[in-house]
Amino acid sequence: MVVDRLYESVKQKGVVCVGLDTDISYVPEEMAKAASTPGEAVFLFNKAIVDATADVSGCYKVQIAYYESLGLDGMLAYKKTLAYLREKGLIAIADIKRGDIAKTAEMYAKGHFEGDFEADFVTLAPYMGMDSVTPYLPYFKEKNKGCFILVRTSNPGSRDFQYLTTSSGKTIYDTVGAAVQALGQDYMGSCGFSSIGAVIGGTTSEEAETIRREMDKTFFLIPGYGAQGGKAEDIARYLVHGNGGVVNSSRAVLLAYKKHGGTFDEAARAEVLRMRKEIEDACKLLEK
């Protein structure tokens, strides 16, 4: 199962998921000018970031919107970035947040688990119901793929719907989380987690222990660290002995050079190492 690859990668290299949410404005001016197109500049920037962090990052998340915004040129950069991650044997999460049903979902699954845009995991939005997830399931066993389903996100607007209480007394996110955990039972890896994971925002710690207990077989993709307010001690509560989840960081890594100076790739590596140590230390304190 692909979740075993991810678990082992985290065990060996740490919980940091580098978010390649690369806007053209992030690319150093001299690199952007030397590239033949904006998309090529973005790819070369990504490639250097990957080369600098491959041995200290658990995986990579590639947010498709940044590439779509550059048109065909951007989508070529998206394709080349995913291909480069595969070439290096690294784990790629395609952050596409698809949420459609039936034949449309089948085409999304084919588009992002095969061919030009192939990734190891995709992110999915379940608002239309769990039949928006089922078209992806054949790929999990047959093609060794996985997904992360949005359960409780890190944005302020998550409280608009996700925290509403159902007739059973549970929140919407509790209900979705239970469905994700149940669906994941058929796709368990030897590591004790499922290839059907969940996006769980790390900006609040109040519900962390309950969420982790009720979704004990679910691997988490955790956004919200750093700029959105999630602290290392908050994040640690969603992990299990420092594993069972990856913590995404995008701008803090990609733009570290603008804050700390130095070359962009060296600064990105330093930020990943700093973040990794901070979270590891928080996990150790929690377990004392």
Catalytic site positions: 97
Buried b (16+ CB within 10 A) or exposed e, 237-264: bbbeebbbbbbbbbbbbbbbbeeeeeeb
* Sequence-ordered alpha helix ranges (H) in 185-263: 208-214, 232-236, 251-254, 256-260
CB-neighbour burial class of residue 170 (10 A; exposed 0-12, middle 13-18, buried 19+): middle
Rounded-to-integer distance, Cα 36 and Cα 128, Å:
42
Q: Are 45 and 85 in contact (CB under 8 A)?
A: no
Give the three-state DSSP class for 203: coil
Token pair in block for residue 36:
């033949």
- Phi, psi for 246 (deg, rounded to 5): -125, 145
Rounded-to-integer distance, Cα 32 and Cα 29, Å:
5
Please give the distance of CA 81 from its chain centroid, rounded to a whole number: 15
Q: Which residue has the tokens 């197109």?
A: 37
Residues in the chain: 288
Give the three-state DSSP class for 105: helix
Token pair in block for residue 100:
């459609």
